[in-house]
Structure 1
Amino acid sequence: MIRIGVTSVFVDDQAKAEGFYIDTLGFVLKDKVPLGAYDWVTVVSPADVNGTQLLLEPDQHPAAKAYKTALYAEGIPVMSLAVDDVEEEHRRLEILGVRFQQPPTVMGPVVTAVLDDTCGNLLQLVAPVKP
């Protein structure tokens, strides 16, 4: 059986990303290993600390920068994050100063919102529409 162990998001500043993903979004630090100029930094959901790790990967490679810049310019989120209630998370994150590109919006069977992670990416929050 194949499972996703680690996936990554390219970030322009690992320290800033670590703060945002942990202090603002609520992830917890899984690993932080110094590797020269950068670190191997992964975060996980506190609901599943042994689940999929998100690597906060430096965007130093030209291809990574081009990919990230193009997605951001087109308004395309780099990933979707599942939440129980998009409207509730939107309110909580706005209080913390998070900038949203798209407020909670019903899109068929789901509600989505798109936020800026402060590190060059757009992230989508998604939850089923409440009955």
Structure 2
Amino acid sequence: MKIYVTSIFVDDQDKAQKFYCDKLGFEVKNDIPLGTHRWLTLVSPEQPDGTELLLEPSDHRAVGPYKQALVEDGIAAHSFQVEDLDAEVKRLTDSGVVFTQDPIDAGPVRMAVLDDTCGNLIQLIQMATPGAA
């Protein structure tokens, strides 16, 4: 068994698509109209046949309080892995992305948290180099 699709609740699919593609570098895999919304999935260009990220509309009544509580508590909705966290944070900051947590070491990972402009916090992680002190 493997993960095929995972979703993130977004306030606006068009805005989310622009942020996740233009800023983070994901690519559209599926964009299928479904009434007032779309089945809109993205993939990493590094894994075009990998797990898809569904930009899920935040319409359900439980989503607003759920997202608000996560953001208030500083909890990231999802985590994306990068090879060089400091370089990625610089690239994204230079393009206008706002980070709510600067890079820090956290056990086996180095991490930072950004605001996706669609109601979520997203964690970026870099795996620590084995044996590094």
Instruction: Please indicate the TM-score interval, normalised by the length of the shorter structure.
Output: over 0.9
Provide the residue aligned with 1:29 in structure 2: 28
| Separation (CA, whole Å) in 2 of partners of 1:109 and 1:57 | 31
Q: Give the alignment's TM-score, normalised by structure 1.
A: 0.96
The secondary structure found in structure 2 opposite 1:98 is coil
Q: Structure 1: which 4+ aligned runs deviate by more than 3 Å?
A: none
Deviation at 1:129, TM superposition (A): 2.6
Query: Could you tell which deviates more after superposition, 110-119 or 64-73?
Result: 64-73
Task: Say whether residues 1:122 and 2:121 are aligned partners.
Answer: yes
The secondary structure found in structure 1 opposite 2:54 is strand
Q: Which 5+ residue runs of structure 2 have no aligned equivalent? A: none
Deviation at 1:109, TM superposition (A): 2.0
| Separation (CA, whole Å) in 1 of partners of 2:63 and 2:39 | 16
Q: Which 5+ residue runs of structure 1 have no aligned equivalent? A: none
The secondary structure found in structure 2 opposite 1:62 is coil
Q: Over aligned residue pairs, what C-alpha RMSD do you find? A: 0.8
Provide the residue aligned with 1:90 in structure 2: 89
Aligned residues: 130
> Residue type matched to 2:18 in 1?
G
The secondary structure found in structure 1 opposite 2:62 is helix
